[in-house]
Structure 1
Amino acid sequence: MSRPRVVLATNNAKKLAELRRVVGDGVEVLALADVAPYPEPAETERTFEGNALLKARACVAATGLPALADDSGLEVDELGGMPGVRSARWAGRHGDDVANLELVLRQLEDVPAGRRTARFVCAVALALPDGSEHVLRRVWEGRLATAPAGANGFGYDPVFLPEGAGGRTAAQLSPEEKDAVSHRGQAVRAMAQTMAQVLGTGGERG
């Protein structure tokens, strides 16, 4: 029996690989490159949940297939919860990981360790052709280092020190370690359970 198909509404190859690992073999995850091009919506919402739903709704409308989308970012307490939904374009140009990371470090210069608390947030939305929608949010608590370390991951991973990671940054964790505890790993595992119920998949890999 063929597996149910879901389109993952992202052009981020690393995010695609990460989400495919967590979802496992119960569902065939298609990339945007696997479907006909369509106008992608601007991320104009003020919440991660809102932006995830925007992307999932546009994808299901264009493809007629179940669509999965996420929006995620970094909330820094010392910066009043920013960069937040602007995490990917914090330095001005979308997707410039190095510039975004360097700007946050400059903004936290001389801020003591006790006030460098932060969290990664991920909202995942599933939109179905019948109009039903499912959305959930998960967080990964930690604090920010003063300098980047590690070659794994992407985005702000090299400066994020997760709770319980023994002083290692998210970029120093193996993919398996990160998937087990990260905001996106938590969110996608939870959504995999929802997909198992509504699409009849085998659920998460475990």
Structure 2
Amino acid sequence: MQLVFATNNLNKIKEVQALIPEHIKLLSLNDIGCLEDIPETQDTIEGNSIQKATYVKKHYGYDCFADDTGLEVDALNGAPGVYSARYAGEQRDANDNMDKLLTELNAKTNRNAQFKTVITLQLNNKQHTFTGICEGEITSSKSGEQGFGYDPIFKPKGHQETFAEMDLKLKNSIGHRGKAILQLVNFLNA
């Protein structure tokens, strides 16, 4: 079975490939010749996930799944949320995004946050969605070299290290994307 994962983010592909059963061959957007930026114009994480999966199915004909992830911070009324990747601007720079977030939380005592991933699967002309959430808090400074995005400043509930300090196996077992992918895998195996 072949499935397109609607991303060219090599970090995401690596994370997901570790969770997908061996009988499923994962293809990236690059693998199918999709070199354009897929629109992400919705105002919710769910909406962007659906939009990306629908785009790949419509324009390329492949069964696929797409994800969208956002970091939702309580003290910022859920921001950066759907704008997490471009929080500090269109350059989509992770360090700029983290610096902006840390500055905005500087005087705040409530540092509770959650990562939310929504995966949309387009399979056999039917659509399915899966949601994974990981609660935690924003640290006061960056720590760790693993992962990507906000991982150096996000400490999951019940753990003393940030996502960026964890090995991939642990992160996948407790993280938002891992939880959503597990639902996807269980659905595909059913």
Shorter chain as normaliser: what TM range?
A: over 0.9
* Shift of residue 41, structure 1, vs aligned partner: 3.2
Matched residues in 2 for 1:88 and 1:38: separation?
Answer: 19
User: What's the RMSD between the two structures over aligned residues?
Assistant: 1.2
Which of structures 1 and 2 has the larger relative contact order (alpha carbons within 8 angstroms, sep 6+)?
A: 1
In 2, are the aligned partners of 1:40 and 1:55 still within 8 Å (CA)?
no
* Shift of residue 61, structure 1, vs aligned partner: 1.7
What is the 5 A alignment of 1:167-178?
167-178=160-171
Runs of 5+ consecutive residues of structure 2 not aligned to the other structure:
none
What is the 5 A alignment of 1:1-206?
4-37=1-34, 39-112=36-109, 115-128=110-123, 130-165=124-159, 167-197=160-190
> For 1:70, what is the secondary structure of its paired residue?
strand
Residues paired across the two proteins, number: 190
Matched residues in 2 for 1:170 and 1:125: separation?
Answer: 24
Runs of 5+ consecutive residues of structure 1 not aligned to the other structure:
198-206
TM-score by length of 2: 0.96
The C-alpha deviation readout for 1:68-102, integer Å capped at 9, x for no partner, is 10000100000000000000000012431010010
Matched residues in 2 for 1:39 and 1:110: separation?
Answer: 40
In 2, are the aligned partners of 1:38 and 1:62 still within 8 Å (CA)?
no
TM-score by length of 1: 0.88
The C-alpha deviation readout for 1:162-186, integer Å capped at 9, x for no partner, is 0111x21111110000010100000
The C-alpha deviation readout for 1:114-158, integer Å capped at 9, x for no partner, is x10000000000012x42100121110000100000000100000
* Shift of residue 49, structure 1, vs aligned partner: 1.2
Q: Which range is displaced more, 35-44 or 18-27?
A: 35-44
| Identity within the alignment, % | 35
